[in-house]
Amino acid sequence: MVVGYCMKCKAKKEMSGAKQGKMANGRDCVKGKCPDCSTNMFKIGKM
C-alpha cells in the first residue's frame, strides 16, 4: 500500500483506494482517501 500524510488527522496513514495518475506537468502522482476521515490524500511519485 501507499503511505501518505493526512492533513486533517495530522498523521501518516495508508491510502485507501489509491490510484496512479498524472499531474498537468506530466509527473506521476498517487491519489487516495484517508481510511479514518475520508479526506482526499495526494502524493507525488509512483506507487
pLDDT digits (tens, 9 = 90+) for 9-45: 999 999 999 999 999 999 999 999 999 999 999 999 9
For residue 18, the model assigns a pLDDT of 96
40-44, Cβ contacts within 8 angstroms, sequence gap of 24 or more: 41/4, 41/5, 41/6, 41/13, 41/15, 42/4, 43/2, 43/4, 43/15
Cα distances (Å, whole numbers) of residue 7 to 12, 26, 36: 9, 25, 12
For residue 9, the model assigns a pLDDT of 96
Q: What is the pTM for the complete model shown?
A: 0.81
For residue 13, the model assigns a pLDDT of 96
For residue 1, the model assigns a pLDDT of 81
Whether the pLDDT of residue 47 is over 90: the answer is no
Please give the distance of CA 17 from its chain centroid, rounded to a whole number.
Answer: 9
As a whole number of angstroms, the distance between CA 27 and CA 11 comes to 25
